Amino acid sequence: MESSSVTTTLITGIAELTTHADPDAGPGTLADAALVVGDDGRVAWTGPAAQAPDADERVDVGGRAVVPGFVDSHAHLVFAGDRAHEFAARMTGAPYGAGGIRTTVAATRAAGDDVLRANLKRLTGEMLRQGTTTVECKSGYGLTVEDEARALRLAREQVEAVTYLGAHVVPAEFKDRPEDYVDLVKGEMLDACAPYADYADVFCERGAFDEEQTREILTAAKGRGLAVRLHANQLGPGPGVRLAVEFGAASADHCTFLDDADVDALAGSQTVATLLPGVEFSTRSPYPDARRLLEAGATVAIATDCNPGSCYTSSMPFCIALAVREMRMSPAEALWAATAGGARALRRTDVGHLAVGARADFAVLDAPSFIHLAYRPGVPLVHRVWKNGTPAV
């Protein structure tokens, strides 16, 4: 049999296409649209269906909406076990604290590579089926030189963006000498981890790492050529956001407790404010003030923070629904933050939008409009997913 030589694909029947083609000008939504995937897996053309050019193959999506694939710019996927009982206790009144991380550290250290790989595969599979086509993943449940390097090596096998988070919490064996742990994180552990990582991150929070320790670790990481990002102002006010901006971090993540100076610092910087509303949902905490950030001119991203402690969802549509319902973002702002915003938080220009030349990563929704992502919470609306110009779901 002769092998077919399909090289380009025309996607038709798009009731509503969101491209974010002009990154600074809203959703860029077009009704009755078409899209051509080029032979390089990139977007070759978008426009009104009536003007669509010819292509080698045609796919009719039957009057559905198409959106850029979600960019989940914050997740912790290398771990073993879960903390369902901690969640249940929290829902009946127990507070959330950084210390729960140590429970997952013990389970992760005890797990073999095969177990961690299988868990990563399960979670990235869930993400893809829910429309996420770019994933960032952190280490942070190993907290020894070997276990952190292992986490990053395993993450690298399955995700595109990898972050070294040796500074997640001070592990139990360093409880009485946290400075020795900071030395390890910025010394031998950094040396072992830097080859596998794109970014370094620090959980700058009461109960984790303070301002001085965060400075030391970020300085060392930048010295090794890693870009930086920060867990900042999650559990209370603190220096995290200011440090993120000062160090030119790609993003400051959480941003739940901000003062005016924090908001101004973000607005006047290239540092993206990455909001993780699933965490507030799952820890029953007040939501970040997204409107204040948007109105000040900060760039806002939304991500899941998928992890076994503070938020065990892998669903970007769920986070979009929370952003709209609980943080008063418009559906268009929330979709932008979950796609183009996530790409900015990873300093990526090839994903998060569907302008000509972008990677052809998109989700076909079982809905006539992207608004349904928030309007129909909890409903599996992702019908098909294309990644790199190929059907992936």
Where does this chain bind ligand NIG (CB under 6 A)? 76, 100-101, 104, 203, 231, 234, 279, 305, 307-310
Query: Considering beta carbons, is residue 305 or 333 the nearer one to ligand NIG?
Result: 305
201 interacts with, out of ligand NIG, Fe ion, none, CB within 5 to 8 A per kind: none
344 interacts with, out of ligand NIG, Fe ion, none, CB within 5 to 8 A per kind: none
197 interacts with, out of Fe ion, ligand NIG, none, CB within 5 to 8 A per kind: none
Tell me the β-bridge partners of 231.
203, 253
Minimum distance from residue 371 beta carbon to ligand NIG (Å): 29
Query: Considering beta carbons, is residue 30 or 169 the nearer one to ligand NIG?
Result: 169
Minimum distance from residue 27 beta carbon to Fe ion (Å): 27
Minimum distance from residue 310 beta carbon to Fe ion (Å): 7
Minimum distance from residue 283 beta carbon to ligand NIG (Å): 8
| Coil/strand/helix, residue 75 | strand
Token pair 């970007």 is found at 316
- Distance, CA of 276 to CA of 138 (rounded, Å): 15
Candidate list 147, 280, 305, 333; residue touching Fe ion; CB under 5 A: 305
Under the binding rule (CB under 5 A), the answer on residue 136 touching Fe ion is no
Strands 161-167 and 390-391: unpaired
**How many Cα atoms occupy the beta-carbon half-sphere of 333 within 13 Å?**
18
Tokens of 280: 């507030």
Q: Of 152, 120, 117, 134, which Cα lies nearest the Cα of 74? A: 134
Minimum distance from residue 136 beta carbon to ligand NIG (Å): 12
Minimum distance from residue 278 beta carbon to ligand NIG (Å): 9
- Distance, CA of 8 to CA of 42 (rounded, Å): 10
229 interacts with, out of Fe ion, ligand NIG, none, CB within 5 to 8 A per kind: none
Tell me the β-bridge partners of 229.
201
- Distance, CA of 288 to CA of 229 (rounded, Å): 18
Under the binding rule (CB under 5 A), the answer on residue 72 touching Fe ion is no
| Coil/strand/helix, residue 274 | strand
The DSSP output letter for 337 is I
H or E stretch covering 11: strand 9-18
Query: Considering beta carbons, is residue 19 or 234 the nearer one to Fe ion?
Result: 234
Give the total of residues touching Fe ion (CB under 5 A): 1
Q: In Å, how far are 265, 267, 329, 336 from 296, measured between CA atoms?
A: 10, 6, 14, 17
Query: Considering beta carbons, is residue 42 or 229 the nearer one to Fe ion?
Result: 229
Token pair 């090289």 is found at 7
Contact string 220-259 vs Fe ion (x = CB under 5 A) = ----------------------------------------
Token pair 């979950």 is found at 338
Residues in the chain: 393
- Distance, CA of 342 to CA of 127 (rounded, Å): 14
- Distance, CA of 229 to CA of 245 (rounded, Å): 10
Query: Considering beta carbons, is residue 147 or 253 the nearer one to Fe ion?
Result: 253
- The interface with Fe ion within residues 94-133 (CB under 5 A) comprises none
**Minimal CB distance residue for ligand NIG:** 309
Please work out, in degrees rounded to the nearest 5, the angle formed at the alpha carbon of residue 244 by the alpha carbons of 241 and 245: 90
Minimum distance from residue 319 beta carbon to Fe ion (Å): 13
Minimum distance from residue 123 beta carbon to ligand NIG (Å): 14
Order of strands, edge to edge, in the sheet holding 70-72? Answer: 70-72, 132-138, 161-167, 199-204, 227-232, 251-254, 272-275, 300-302
- The interface with Fe ion within residues 18-57 (CB under 5 A) comprises none
Minimum distance from residue 283 beta carbon to Fe ion (Å): 12
| Coil/strand/helix, residue 391 | strand
- Distance, CA of 154 to CA of 158 (rounded, Å): 7
Minimum distance from residue 80 beta carbon to ligand NIG (Å): 12
Query: Considering beta carbons, is residue 100 or 317 the nearer one to ligand NIG?
Result: 100
Stretch that binds Fe ion, among 19-27, 32-40, 296-304, 305-313 (CB under 5 A): 305-313
Stretch that binds Fe ion, among 53-61, 180-188, 299-307, 358-366 (CB under 5 A): 299-307
104 interacts with, out of Fe ion, ligand NIG, none, CB within 5 to 8 A per kind: ligand NIG
Residues that bind Fe ion (CB under 5 A): 305
